[in-house]
Amino acid sequence: MIRRSFGFAGAVALFALPLSIHFAVAQQQVPAAPPQDSAAPPAAPAPNAGPTFPKPDPANFTATSPSKDTINAFLQTSWGYDPNRVWQIQAILKTDAEGVSKVVVLVGDKLGKQKSGALAFFALPDGKHIVAGDDVLPFSDHPYAAYREQLQQSADGPYRGSASKDLELVEFADFQCPHCKEAQANMEKLATDFPKARIVFQNYPLAAIHPESVRAAEYGVCVTKLGGSDAFFQFASAVFDGQEGLATKDGADLTLNSAVTKVKLDPTKVAACAATPEAGAQVEASVKLAQALHVNQTPTLMINGRQVPIGGVPYETVKQIVEYQAKLDGVTQ
């Protein structure tokens, strides 16, 4: 479920998902290209019908920072998982704000299957962040390193797979979120396809729109405490399967207690644990971690610190990104 939106999947999706998704929300006016020689014959179309970008005008490069090399390195890190994606830096412009530059990038699909478009973002003076849409995002040739370190230190939810954090996939999810339920099939596939990965579940209940999500998260905390990670993932599967029951308080009682019984724990003990301040504090800490990482929707998957909104995203795309990020980080799968 989207907490706050920028088109389909937020500004983060501009650097994570297929062109067909993000260009619906990322169209920008492109600075004018230099005039073409009218006597010159038109360029022949590419055999694969890929994009033909206009030649950049040197007059549109008025800012010295960030450099083209830095921008290209960032885009390669962000988009390199897709071998068919091509781009061209069209402008790096000074703005009225000291040290803030506007960057315009043309992006397309070299197979011609996706609509091309233009993406604009603002590079901030610290050289470490950009503003895209209404989000502040990390920016550099290693933009996800700080978030990766933060998750390695603070993502303390139940996990499956490897104890090693070399390849860490952290899912932020809400038990009452329909898109989170749909995403569980893909999470199961990731667990199968990446047996060396550490897959962590972090609670991110959206209480304002899902009144029973916090209690479901507190139950999950206590199931983990009393039964361990294996019990949690069985519990989570049962809760997502019975998600419709969370629509009311009485229904939530039945759904949560039934899920607890399925993992052979005592519902009375789990309910008592879930009502303690300690369980609530653990859920709140997970919510604060999500907010510190600027996670603004559920479900979101953090792949070694790289944020990917995964609601409605094809599994092969998610798998591609995991494989690419692991390669960037030198992780042997």
As averages over each run of 10 residues, the pLDDT of the chain (333 residues) reads 39 55 38 47 54 94 96 95 94 97 95 85 95 89 94 98 97 97 97 97 96 98 98 98 96 98 98 98 98 94 96 94 96 85
Shared domain for 127 and 236, answered yes or no, is no
Shared domain for 210 and 289, answered yes or no, is yes
The answer to whether residue 6 sits within a structural domain is: no
Q: How far is it, in rounded angstroms, from Cα 287 to Cα 67?
A: 36
Q: What is the pLDDT of residue 223?
A: 98
Residue-wise pLDDT tens digits, 232-249: 999 999 999 999 999 999
Q: What is the pLDDT of residue 287?
A: 98
Domain boundary among 126, 142, 158: 142
Shared domain for 118 and 42, answered yes or no, is yes
Q: What is the pLDDT of residue 212?
A: 97
DSSP letters, 99-143, are T-EEEEEEEEETTS-S--EEEEEEE-TTSSEEEETTEEEE-SSST
Shared domain for 66 and 193, answered yes or no, is no
Q: What is the pLDDT of residue 50?
A: 76
Shared domain for 190 and 136, answered yes or no, is no
Domain boundary among 116, 142, 168: 142
CATH number, domain at 183?
3.40.30.10
pTM flag (> 0.75): yes
What range does the domain containing 19 cover? 11-142
Say what angle helices 277-292 and 213-241 make with each other, to 10 degrees: 80
Closest listed residue to residue 265, CA positions, set 240, 236, 231, 220: 231
Q: What is the pLDDT of residue 14?
A: 58
The answer to whether residue 4 sits within a structural domain is: no
The answer to whether residue 276 sits within a structural domain is: yes
The answer to whether residue 127 sits within a structural domain is: yes
Residue type, 111: L
